[in-house]
Amino acid sequence: MTDYSRPALNLERLRKFVAVAEELHFGRAAERLHIAQPVLSRQIRALEDELKAQLFVRDRRRTELTAAGEQLLTDARPLLASANALRLRVGQAARGKNAFTVGFMPGLIVTAAVRALSERHEGLTVNVVRTNWDDQVEVVHDGRVDVSLIRLPVDQSGLTVRPLLTEPRVAVLPADHRLAGKETIAIADLADEHLLQHPDAVPEWRDIATELREGTRMPVGHFAAVEEKLEHVATGRGVTVLPLSTATFYTRPDIVHVPVRDIPPNQVCLAWEAGRRSRLIQEFAALAQEAFA
């Protein structure tokens, strides 16, 4: 049974806690929040009293999170994002804005489902937002989109996720690369190459990569945008592994793509915030499944 006698968690204090937890410095957090440091300290103490848990350990040299603070930070970010998304949707409704927004990853074409939803609901504005690997889930949590076509793997916490399709993954190489022109390659063929994306995105490569195993070359920062990856591939700075539809969508003469036969396919899903019971979301999900079938 829910205990309604206990006060609800103060979201403004929670927002201040996240600022301190990210900065690990009360002075910098206070500047970021545009408040005085003593005020911030009082707010954090009030939150600790509210939760009956110590969140930070402080001395003259540093500020560190306790185990309770680490747990709160993990849970606070999605909670604050959901609260902001709720404010956004309520504000849109108050302004009489009848809109629905769809996020989509590069290479995925959502035209058919968007058009079908628009035709079913006269007066509904259906918007689209192009996402990338770094924000494809974030846009759902913060309310920028109602649904998002995502590519796994992602953190699925707080999401409802519905599979749509799978597709093979390919290695994207410079046109004059030694492997260009092969019908297929194995992931082991890329062991000595430099990967222009986060190694965790291609764990099969990460586990055999020469540069990671021997420490002979540290990976450069990964590139979130496909266009950036492909520019660096074309200039010979490395290779990247992409879903087939993304590679074919960005066809250009100075790069080629070759199927990688021994890694699992990419899974495309539709995601939305768990707990939302929107009729439009359910309707769009059905239309998307039909379009991608």
Q: Are 196 and 232 in contact (CB under 8 A)?
A: yes
pLDDT in tens, 91-146: 666 555 688 999 999 999 999 999 999 999 998 999 999 998 888 998 998 888 99
Residues, the chain: 293
Closest to 175 measured CA to CA, from 239, 94, 219? 239
- pLDDT score recorded for residue 199: 86
Q: What global pTM score does this model have? A: 0.69
Closest to 46 measured CA to CA, from 3, 6, 12? 12
pLDDT in tens, 224-237: 689 999 999 999 99
pLDDT in tens, 55-69: 999 887 889 999 999
Q: Which domains does the chain have, with CATH numbers?
A: 11-79 (1.10.10.10), 98-167+267-292 (3.40.190.10), 169-264 (3.40.190.10)
Average pLDDT over residues 200-224: 75
Handedness of CA 65, 68, 71, 75 (dihedral sign): negative
Rg (CA), the chain: 23
Better-predicted residue by pLDDT, 276 or 182: 182
